[in-house]
Amino acid sequence: MKNGKVSLLDKEMIEIYEEIGDQHILTSLNTPLRDDAFNLSDDEKIEQIQDHFRSIMNILGLDLNDDSLKGTPYRVAKMYVKEIFSGLNPLNKPKIALFDNKYKYNEMLIEKNILLQSTCEHHFLPIYGKAHIAYFPKNNVIGLSKINRIVQHFAKRPQVQERLSIQLLEDLKKVLASEDVAVYIDAKHMCVSSRGIKDTTSSTVTTAFSGKFKDAVTRKEFLSAIHNNQEY
C-alpha cells in the first residue's frame, strides 16, 4: 500500500479490506473523523468533491459533455455534504425541546416505525429500514418528532448499524437525563442485496438497551409493542 492506496499487488491488504467490508466489522464506537474534519466550509467541500467525482466518472469512461451527466458531479457533491452525510457536522444536530412531565407519566413511551435511511461506510451503499425507540419519562418528556430527527441526524453519515444503535442510545440517555432507553433497528443493506452475496430477502436487526430495559419482562413488553402490526 502506498499513500493510502491499495495496489493490485497488496493481496494481504485487499483480503483484510474485503473481510472488514463483507463482515461489516465495527472498528470504532465514534464515527471516525479527523481533527480537521470541519476546517473546510460546506461550499469548499462541495467544490472539491465535485472535482474528484468528475474524475471518477471520467475514469469510468462516461461522457461528461452529455446533458444528462454534466451536472452529476455537482449534484453528487451537494448531496453528500448537504443531505446524506450532513449528520457528520455536529452543527447540524437538531435542537431538542423538552417539556415538563406535568402529568407525571411514568410508563413506557414508544416511537416506532421511524423511517431509517443511512449509508454503509464500507461500500457507500444505502441502508434503509425502521427504527423503534422507547423510554420511561422522568422529569421531562421530549417532543415526539424530535426522536425522529435524532435518528435521522445520526443516520446521515457513513455508518455501521451496530454503531448507529449505540450512538442513538447514548445520545438519548443524555438528552432525556434517563438510563431507561431502548433502541431497535431493523434494516436492509444494499451492500448485501446488490453486491457480494446478493441476498435481497434478509435484514439486519440490532438492539441497544439500558436501565429498565435490561429487565427481561420490560424488554419483552417493548418488543411485543413494536411487533404489533395493528393498523389504525
Active site residues: 120-123, 161, 189, 191
Question: Helix-strand-coil percent breakdown of the chain, rounded to 5?
Answer: 40, 20, 40
Rg (CA), the chain: 21
C-alpha cell read off for 123: 461500500
The answer to whether the beta carbons of residues 105 and 79 sit under 8 Å apart is no
The answer to whether the beta carbons of residues 84 and 158 sit under 8 Å apart is no
Torsion region of 101: left, alpha or beta (phi above 0 gives left; psi -120 to 50 gives alpha): beta
Report the alpha-carbon distance of residue 49 to residue 45 in Å, rounded: 6
Report the alpha-carbon distance of residue 93 to residue 87 in Å, rounded: 7
Contacts of 123 (CB under 8 A, 6+ apart): 21, 190, 191, 195
Report the alpha-carbon distance of residue 158 to residue 167 in Å, rounded: 13
Calculate helix-pair angle for 144-155, 161-176, nearest 10 degrees.
140
| Angle of CA points 61, 84, 47, to nearest 5° | 55
Report the alpha-carbon distance of residue 84 to residue 126 in Å, rounded: 10
